């Protein structure tokens, strides 16, 4: 099997024949941007355009990112259509989809950057100029798959009415007809409007962490979460991975919530405690803890996107360009994970950095040749035309031709 069909097969495992239906102009610029994001040395779109290997101008890439709204809407719909096909095919009776909701902040210096406003940074304990990106995704096989990334718009005197992140999340779940899922979020989203919407409107269950000032009723006594957590006596033990978690479970009513919940007070080996809440009171406590632990997959996504996919490197003053850049980030992350999954089936013992390099290398070959090669070459002649070392070529051949049996 030659290199080109193999890489094409890997990428199209998720996207099917979608690339084949894109016009050449769109495909070329789209793949150039994706490849640039998967290359650590490029820190901006300008840096991507500066590489003579691509043969594209800075103006062309920025115009592509700022315009062609119909194309970008199609790409955004593609992200969710993958999830929707799975949801319809698998049904909700035997398989419950796990959705995670969270947001991240991108610090900005210029006030003219769209969607930038003053937000409180809980790490630095101060207000900073930043963009807030609400992200919703599915966790499958303990891997986060982004479904949508949305900028939280700052309040304005004119124009669209201000919507909080909670309202944005509820609106997204409603618009995308989410049903029968398990929705996970941290304490900033664990409040009555979202919890009740999940249970009553979307027929889904919610698992989250309560803030310390929430008042609930346990065993006929009303108390704050912080008091219940501090005085709870643990009576069960659960091992999650290499961690031992002690916990205690209660059925509770929450003062601001019109539905009963099951709460689980957890304690780690270092003594830190938290209170998790779940709207499905039949769900075992161990399952609640395990489901909530999947929330960290979205934190890993944010960290990876910032460090490796230049999430904070789009400095355009155009709102469309900023929103379209988030679509690029999400698709680049999906492609990276697909290639990573294939490469990890190899018997080669490579570090994460080496795997990342080979993935970029593989996609580089695909991106540069897919829209310009009319014929398929053999592995040897094809690699001889690429500007990579022989050692890199050998590793690439090994990983793109995994052993079977």
What are the residue ranges spanned by the domains of the chain?
Answer: 3-71+320-400, 204-289
At residue 139, the pLDDT reads 93
Residue 305 CA to residue 145 CA, distance in Å, equals: 12
| Those residues with Cβ within 8 angstroms of residue 196's Cβ, 6 or more apart along the chain or in another chain | 257, 258, 259
pLDDT beyond 90 at 368: no
pLDDT beyond 60 at 22: yes
Q: Is the dihedral of CA 35, 41, 47, 49 positive or negative?
A: negative
The single-letter DSSP state of residue 96 is: -
Residue 261 CA to residue 198 CA, distance in Å, equals: 13
Model confidence at 75, pLDDT cuts 50, 70, 90, reads: confident
Q: What is the pTM of this model?
A: 0.83
At residue 396, the pLDDT reads 46
| Alpha helices per DSSP H over 179-284 | 192-196, 225-231
% the chain with pLDDT above 90: 45
At residue 400, the pLDDT reads 44
pLDDT beyond 80 at 241: yes
């Amino acid at each position: 099997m030659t290199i080109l069909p193999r890489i094409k097969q890997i990428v199209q495992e998720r996207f099917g024949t979608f690339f084949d239906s894109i016009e050449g102009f769109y495909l070329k610029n789209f793949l150039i941007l994706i490849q640039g994001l998967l290359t650590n040395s490029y820190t901006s779109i300008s840096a991507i355009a500066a590489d003579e290997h691509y043969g594209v101008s800075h103006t062309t890439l920025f115009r592509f990112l700022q315009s062609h709204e119909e194309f970008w809407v199609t790409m955004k719909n593609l992200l969710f259509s993958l999830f929707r096909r799975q949801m319809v095919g698998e049904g909700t009776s035997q398989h419950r989809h796990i959705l995670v909701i969270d947001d991240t902040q991108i610090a900005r210096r210029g006030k003219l950057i769209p969607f930038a406003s003053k937000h409180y940074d809980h790490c630095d304990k101060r207000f900073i100029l930043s963009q807030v990106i609400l992200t919703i995704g599915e966790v499958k096989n303990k891997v986060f798959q982004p479904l949508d990334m949305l900028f939280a718009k700052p309040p304005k005197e004119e124009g669209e009415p201000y919507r909080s992140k909670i309202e944005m999340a509820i609106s997204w779940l409603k618009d995308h007809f989410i049903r029968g899922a398990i929705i996970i979020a941290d304490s900033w989203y664990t409040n009555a409007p979202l919890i009740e919407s999940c249970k009553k409107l979307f027929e889904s269950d919610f698992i989250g962490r309560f803030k310390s000032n929430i008042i609930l009723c346990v065993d006929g006594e009303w108390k704050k979460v912080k008091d219940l957590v501090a005085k709870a006596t643990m009576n069960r033990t659960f091992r999650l991975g290499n961690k031992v978690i002690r916990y205690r479970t209660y059925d509770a009513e929450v003062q601001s919530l019109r539905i009963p919940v099951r709460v689980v007070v957890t304690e780690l080996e270092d003594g830190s405690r938290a209170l998790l809440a779940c709207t499905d009171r039949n769900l075992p406590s161990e399952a609640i803890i395990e489901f909530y632990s999947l929330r960290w997959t979205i934190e890993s996504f944010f960290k990876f996107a910032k460090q490796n996919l230049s999430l904070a490197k789009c400095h355009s003053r155009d709102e469309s360009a900023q929103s379209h850049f988030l679509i690029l980030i999400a698709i680049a992350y999906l492609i990276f994970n697909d290639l990573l999954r294939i490469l990890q089936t190899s018997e080669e013992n490579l570090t994460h950095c080496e795997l990342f390099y080979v993935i970029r290398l593989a996609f580089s070959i695909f991106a540069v040749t897919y829209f310009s090669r009319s014929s398929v070459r053999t592995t040897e002649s094809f690699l001889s035309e690429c500007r990579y070392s022989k050692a890199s070529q050998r590793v690439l051949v090994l990983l793109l031709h995994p052993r079977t049996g």
